[in-house]
Amino acid sequence: MGDKVSNSLLILISAPSGGGKTTLCEQVLAKNKSTVRAVTCTTRQPRDGEKEGVDYYFLDSTSFLRRVQAGHFLEHATVYGNSYGTLKAEVLGKLRQNHDVLLSVDVQGAAAITERAAEEPELKRALVTVFLAPPSLAVLEARLKKRNKDSSDVIKRRLNVARQEIAQWKHFNYLIVSRSIKEDADRMQAIITAEKLRHERAAAPELD
């Protein structure tokens, strides 16, 4: 029999705000039944209908800080006064259950996870990073305006941040320049299929 090698993937997708990251993640989950999200920790209060351990792990600030200090997070950040973090144990646990694990993070989170994975052979073998970029800042601006959620000042700030984020695309394994929901999903699926077939993840052929 060939050697059994885990071919579970840690699929990390990053994109600027309004870049289509949420939609692409939904497509990945819909097309790949063994793929699951990593449940994130947060210090914010649960919203109506949210469940502990399903939507988030809800922690108080003291517990969150204690986990940060203990090095339990692959990445963490504070957004609008609330902290969020991805637990290493959460990701490894699901990879070991033969699930592909999907992470949706910003470029800072992606850099932190890539750095941690370099020190952890199990994570390094599984990690695949993808940056989803708009064709241009003008296209991204039009998308942000179409959402009709933000003021012109907020959109301007988001575009300035996006310019800096897009410049980081070379640090990712793959770049998808967004065209349409279907094209983006098809390209993402091609990446997943190819990564599953890499020799370090493939079971050796039987020769006897």
The CATH number of the domain where 142 resides is what? 3.40.50.300
Q: Is residue 135 part of a domain?
A: yes
25 belongs to a structural domain: yes
Give the residue numbers spanning the domain of 181. Answer: 10-38+99-196
Tell me whether residue 133 is in a domain: yes
Per-residue model confidence as pLDDT tens digits over 58-74: 999 999 999 999 999 99
- How many structural domains does the chain have? 1
190 in a structural domain: yes
Count of positions (residues) in the chain: 208
Q: Which residues contact 32 (CB under 8 A, 6 or more apart)?
A: 100, 192
142: confidence class by pLDDT, cuts 50, 70, 90: confident
Give how far Cα 119 sits from Cα of 54, 82, 98, Å: 28, 28, 21
Percentage above 90 pLDDT, the chain: 69
Q: Is there a domain that residue 155 lies in?
A: yes
The amino acid present at 34, given as its one-letter code, is S
- Is the residue at 187 inside a domain? yes
Q: How confident is the model at residue 132 (pLDDT cuts 50, 70, 90)?
A: very high
Instruction: Look at residue 60 and tell me if it is in a domain.
Output: no
What is the reported pTM? 0.87
Distance CA 30, CA 43 (A): 29
In a domain, 74, yes or no: no
Instruction: Give residue-wise pLDDT tens across range 38-53.
Output: 999 999 999 989 999 8
**DSSP of 168-207, one letter per residue?**
TGGGSSEEEE---HHHHHHHHHHHHHHHHTSTTTSPPPP-
Q: Say how far residue 3 (Cα) sits from the centre of its chain.
A: 29
Q: If we measure between CA atoms, which residue out of 12, 8, 29 comes closest to residue 172?
A: 12
DSSP annotation string for 18-41 = TSSHHHHHHHHHHH-TTEEEPPEE
